Structure 1
Amino acid sequence: MAKIIATINLKGGVAKTTTTVGLAETLACEFDKRVLVIDLDPQTNATTMLIQEEKWRELNNKELTTARLFKDSKLAMNERKFDLRNTIQYGVSSIDKVKKLDLLPSSLELIEIQDNLTSIYRGRFNAITPVDILKRAINEVVDNYDYILIDCPPNLGTITLNGLRISDGYIIPTIPDVLSTYGIPQVVKWISEFSSEIDKEIKPIGIVITKYSSNSSVHKTTIKELELERDVKLFKTKFIQCNDLAKAAEYTEVNTLAKKWGYGEKHYDLFIEFAKEFMGVCNDEFGV
């Protein structure tokens, strides 16, 4: 059965999506894992990184995205249009050697849908809740994967709750500065309370340092403070600030993972290190 891990941070611009996509591609390409990325962020960045924007627009026009799933929550069962098998995009990535990575794409429409999820169709016995929408939808395919990575929106709304509802744990990508790390205690506390309420453990897997500058005293000080964090461990791998990162986030067809993320002491090597560390932690926590 897949281990389902969410990525979350309330601060935007911390490379949350880049970390999610790079980890997914590395697990699928270098470690032969079957991986599904679920994009719940209405910015759709994970989606457009893994498929061309033109392809995303085509899917969006056909309502083959997570937006259709959440729209259907207001409809009776016999009126629903969401088709999981057709909505999942198989064998995605701009990297030719990545063969085992699938995607459940997002949509800009999630911005509007988010505010209306309290009035969903709850069934004859009032047993369906707003946070169970995604869980009920993907249950049939969970066993097809080794890992499912969920790119959550930078908020604590109902769509984020749907991602956490099915997650075994979560990681928090962050730049090691005050603004990016300020909300981490709130996230950990909030998820812990949600976990207790639904009676399902959602473990804090770790904090991932992104856009790290070894010349920054602020970064060094913040990392020392994060190392003292008792509720969430800090991954050893640190993703350095890299001018080529924005270019890597664009959909450009390449042959290998190294070609996309950079050779030498760049993100290719770091994603290999991080994937190993990530799998090790998951093995310790969940017995993968």
Structure 2
Amino acid sequence: MFSILTRGVAAFVASVSGGGGAQQQQDATGAEDAGRGGSAASNRRTSSVRSMNRQQGAQQQQNAQFQIEHQNLDPQELMQYLMENFVPNEPILASLAIREVEGLKQMLSDLVQDSMQCSSTCIIRCPRTRQIDAVSLACKASLFDTQIDRLCSYVFDDEQVATACEFLKYVFNRLDITYHFEENRIRNPIFIALVSVRREKWRQGLGAAVVESSIEAARNDRCDGALSLASNSVACRLITRRFPITIQSIRYDTFRGSHRNPPIVMPREETQRCLYVMLARF
């Protein structure tokens, strides 16, 4: 999927005349040694390229088995998937034990509508049932300011939904996104806002496939970078494959909002206690 490097080997060939004298033989020996040294260095470079190409080929082969769709997506179908699969399994929402979902529906519906404008948004369908098995929602950078303004304007009656919204405000208030884009020379980024995989399809490569497909679509649209979030260790392992730059890590226990004690508490088995904000440049 990704054109990381093109293969190329610089070959050095020394041609030696069989009827020459000692100097010719010495020159020939030196040429052969230089050839072997050059070939060794070239072989090392080629080996590295081949290794990366093998990884790339493996990812392409894996992606080929999935039915990835980018166009003509149904917002209502996406909303149904998110309410049934993302909301119950997302670590922060699960920690808050949100039961009143109307406020969440509003936030997710706004995000889905934003993502419909971005070609990097994609889904994977089950070829047999045609149900959605994985989602990557991406948004154009031109919507960042609008999204932040909208986030700050939300008012929810349900305390747990309001807490989730306040935490997002807390995160983005601590970020200077424009600075990090400029620092990394990113001019036209996207925001991969949400990645979700149906629970029974975990550990089958679907998450990596939709992330890779989102990035490839962004590259095709001449984007040069992407921003994403990772809320637990599983998400972090997935995202760091393509987002090597960590620009912020925010511990959950530093956020209290209107609560006396930190409202977001990860389960004991979860090793990650931070939300990571990560950046990719391509």
TM above 0.5: no
Structure index of larger Rg = 2
| TM-score, normalised via structure 2 length | 0.28
| TM-score, normalised via structure 1 length | 0.28
